Amino acid sequence: MNIYLQLFSSFAKIGAFTIGGGYAMIPLIQREVVERKKWLDKEEFLDVLAISQSAPGILIINISIFIGEKMRGVKGSIVSALGSALPSFIMILVIAYFFENYKDNEIVARIFQGIRPAVVALIAVPLITLSKSANLNIYTSFIPIITVLLIVLLGISPIWIILSGALLGLFHFYFTRR
């Protein structure tokens, strides 16, 4: 299969079958691009995820652009972005059209009550997987906990957290290589 068609169909499939978007997509993206297609290894995926989270925009679009660019340059990034955006665009058009008529329907409300906890579980899965590939040890395992506390309790932007982590990584490299 043509690589452009693979990029488009892979990201369209992820976009079409992920309820909850954003972080709920991470395990599906990882399974597709790391395990099935082997376009990235686990560490590359973690790096792309970190950069994509700190960049403005929709997470799946950012990730698909990075991967598409890696595979086939600008054309690959365009095809990947279109693949990831098209299913959501079509679904939102359909939902917006019908939502006004069914938003107060008890069955629809109960469906969403069931979906929400499942999305929380889908978000937890990549946390476990990504923590394994982050090479955490006794000295670095406290960093994710502090990061969550800084973001949740103090409202610090993830961009500042990532930039601080990059600087700390540079300092660590500089002082430990001697």
pLDDT score for 20: 66
Helix axes 59-102, 42-54, angle to 10 degrees: 60
- Every domain of the chain and the residues it spans: 3-134, 136-178
Six-digit token pair at 24? 């709920």
pLDDT score for 169: 86
What single-letter amino acid sits at 149? L
Closest by alpha carbon to 40, among 14, 71, 65, 10? Answer: 71
pLDDT score for 109: 81
pLDDT score for 14: 92
pLDDT score for 44: 94
* Tens digits of residue pLDDT in 122-138: 778 777 777 777 778 88
Low-confidence ranges of the chain (pLDDT < 70): 19-21, 178
pLDDT score for 173: 84
**pTM greater than 0.85:** no
15-29: burial string, b at 16+ Cβ within 10 Å, e else: beebeeeebbbbbbb
